[in-house]
Amino acid sequence: MKNQPKQGDTIAVWFFCGAASAVALKKTIEKYPFCNVIALNNYIKEEDPDNRRFLKDVAEWVGIDIQNVASKRYPSGSCVDVWENRSYMGGVGGAPCTSELKFMARLDWEKENHTDFTVMGFTLEETHRHEKLKINIPELLPVLIDEGKSKKDCFNIIMNAGIKLPRIYTEKGYPNANCIGCVKASSPTYWNHVRRQDPEVFKSRADMSARIGAKLVRVKGERIFLKDLDPDAVGRPMKDMDFECGITCPSED
């Protein structure tokens, strides 16, 4: 990594509508007041609409605008458009929606905009992800890791600031602020939660995955189609699931 940020450097903070990236943005602005801090977000159509409310609340909290960085190939920001075009939804290696709508969008933005350092909302539990990504982004600042902040710490900081967490956490019981019906998930627990909370999304994913041939759920070690999932099937608890959707795209497998 370069030396620590100096006067006038530009720091790009990628905000993904979750508590951790919100706190990472706030901490970056506080820690580096002598830098030009830019907040960036990729609008994703399939996320819960309340994520947009959270984004606006966070922008007001930190005192800067959060800019939208749209994919040039998929300006709609729709995962469904990506899956349709690629005839592929997801597997062990992740999902094409993250690659197209976030990873490629970031690369395109970086080609046209100067930045000296990058910040993402990796918490203390995600040190391994930070280290892995740092191989490709050497100027990646571990803002939350350096302060020893966990995911729970970030939730508490947001609530103590008087900001309502995204309802996908608080009302719908999902483990993260990803799209509803995230195709990186393979647990029957998760997919049956989607079936109960958002039945229209479950049906849409089940229909599309059957048409494309994507077996998104794993039961007793075997991949099956969503349409064949027993409504009573369970896997590991929701709180133990780990398939955040940021610039990286880890599968739950």
In a domain, 247, yes or no: no
As beta bridge partners, residue 145 has none
Report the C-alpha gap between 92 and 176 in whole angstroms.
Answer: 19
Tokens of 193: 């939660």
Residue 1 lies in a domain: no
The DSSP result for 98-134, as a single string, is: HIIIIIHHHHHHHHHS--SEEE----GGGHHHHHHHH
Residue 142 falls within a domain, yes or no?
yes
DSSP for 215-246, please give it. Answer: --EEETTEEE-GGG--TT---S-GGG-----S
In a domain, 196, yes or no: no
Whether the CB-CB separation of 104 and 73 falls below 8 Å is answered with yes
At 91 the pLDDT is 73
Cα–Cα distance, 28 to 64 (Å, whole number): 12
- Contact present, 166 and 158 (Cβ < 8 Å): no
* Non-local CB neighbours of 207 within 8 Å, separated by 6+ positions: 227
Q: Classify residue 67 as left (phi > 0), alpha (psi -120 to 50) or beta.
A: beta
In this prediction, residue 106 carries a pLDDT of 95
Domain for residue 232, yes or no? no
Return the pLDDT at 251: 47
Low-confidence ranges of the chain (pLDDT < 50): 1, 249, 251
Question: Exposed/middle/buried for 217, CB within 10 Å: 0-12, 13-18, 19+?
Answer: buried
CATH of the domain at 138: 3.40.50.620
Reported pTM: 0.89
Of 166, 122, 147, 151, the C-alpha closest to 240 is 151
User: CA 232 → CA 191, 210, 252, distances in Å?
Assistant: 11, 20, 20
Q: Cβ of 8: how many Cβ atoms within 10 Å?
A: 9
76 within some domain: yes
Q: Would you say residue 174 lies in a domain?
A: no
pLDDT by residue (tens digit) across 129-169? Answer: 999 988 888 899 999 999 999 999 999 999 999 999 999 99
Range of the domain at 123: 10-168
Number of structural domains found in the chain = 1
Is the Cβ–Cβ distance between 168 and 180 less than 8 Å? yes
Classify residue 14: in a domain, yes or no: yes
**What's the token pair of residue 217?**
């759920």
Give the separation between CA 23 and CA 250, rounded to whole angstroms: 21
